[in-house]
């Protein structure tokens, strides 16, 4: 995606905590989304941030700082089934209010 | 609701052939999006519709690609003629009215895996 960066790959251990970062450059910001995509499957929605701060949803939390153009997805108590790609997507005026997806971070959870 | 439905799930064709991908959005959703996903380029928006009208087709790679939405429950993405570089997974997604739904989460279909030989 345009001006959206994520680490390509990450590895973590079952039961641990992992933080996946996303940085973006945009104007007219109107929301940041995190999606999970298992291999061979469609992306599924995880979280949405439009205001600064932390949104918690079970084992997953997402943080946003609009002034820094920065977000992270925090996964706690990792399980093997969390092995997937995590896509950050931004909606903004300079994207025509479309969703622009980042390249995704492939997370491998090891036993 | 069954979610977003796409067909076929897999398509293998030869270069030069016409390919038609189909999508049925979630009933009541006002917006429909077509995406293409490859290892090299990630998930790219091709075109999206609002109330059956194409709004932004700037992501459509070439004139070989065309999309239609004849009614609220059906859309097609056509590639004619197809080329090997068109091989990718094509996703359709839908969402509610972007003004009415605060979160405006997109719901994705299962995708069509296209291989052009």
Residue-level pLDDT, tens digit, chain B, 117 residues: 689 999 999 999 999 999 999 999 999 998 999 999 999 889 999 999 999 999 889 889 889 999 999 999 999 999 999 999 999 999 999 988 665 556 668 899 999 999 999
Whether the upstream peptide bond of residue B10 has omega within 30° of 0, thus cis, is no
Cβ neighbours of residue A69 under 8 Å, at least 6 residues apart? Answer: A23, A24, A25, A26
Torsions phi, psi of A108, nearest 5? -115, 125
Long-range contacts of B50-57 (CB under 8 A, 24+ apart): B56/A96, B56/A98
By C-alpha distance, the chain B residue nearest A45 is B105
Beta-carbon separation of B45 and A99 below 8 A: yes
Beta-carbon separation of B43 and A33 below 8 A: no
Nearest alpha-carbon partner for A47 in A82, A80, A72, A15:
A72
Can you say whether the dihedral through the CA atoms of B83, A42, B110, A33 is positive or negative? Answer: negative
Beta-carbon separation of B105 and A45 below 8 A: yes
Angstrom distance (rounded) from CA B42 to CA B29: 25
Between β-strands B112-116 and B10-13, what pairing exists: parallel, antiparallel or unpaired? Answer: parallel
Residues of chain A with C-beta less than 8 angstroms from the C-beta of B29: none
Residues of chain B with C-beta less than 8 angstroms from the C-beta of A87: 43
What is the model's pLDDT at position A1? 46
Beta-carbon separation of B108 and A44 below 8 A: yes
What is the model's pLDDT at position B100? 53
């Amino acid at each position: 995606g345009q001006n959206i960066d994520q680490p390509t790959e990450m590895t973590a251990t079952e039961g641990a905590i992992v933080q996946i970062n996303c940085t973006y450059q945009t104007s007219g910001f109107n929301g940041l989304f995190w999606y999970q995509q298992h291999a061979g499957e469609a992306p599924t929605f995880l979280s949405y941030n439009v205001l600064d701060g932390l949104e918690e949803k079970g084992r997953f939390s997402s943080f946003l700082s609009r002034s820094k153009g920065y977000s992270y997805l925090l996964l706690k108590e990792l399980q093997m089934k969390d092995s997937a790609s995590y896509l950050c997507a931004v909606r903004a005026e300079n994207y025509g209010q479309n969703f622009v997806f980042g390249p995704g971070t492939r997370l491998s959870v090891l036993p | 609701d069954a979610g977003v439905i796409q067909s076929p799930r897999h398509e293998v064709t030869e270069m030069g052939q016409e390919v038609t991908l189909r999508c049925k959005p979630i009933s009541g959703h006002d917006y429909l999006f077509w995406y293409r996903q490859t290892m090299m380029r990630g998930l790219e928006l091709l075109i999206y519709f609002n109330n059956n009208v194409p709004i932004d087709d700037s992501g459509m790679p070439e004139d070989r690609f065309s999309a239609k939405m004849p009614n609220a429950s059906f859309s097609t993405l056509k590639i004619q003629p197809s080329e090997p570089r068109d091989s990718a997974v094509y996703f359709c997604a839908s969402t509610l009215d972007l003004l009415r739904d605060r979160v405006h989460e997109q719901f994705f279909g299962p995708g069509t895996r296209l291989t052009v030989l």
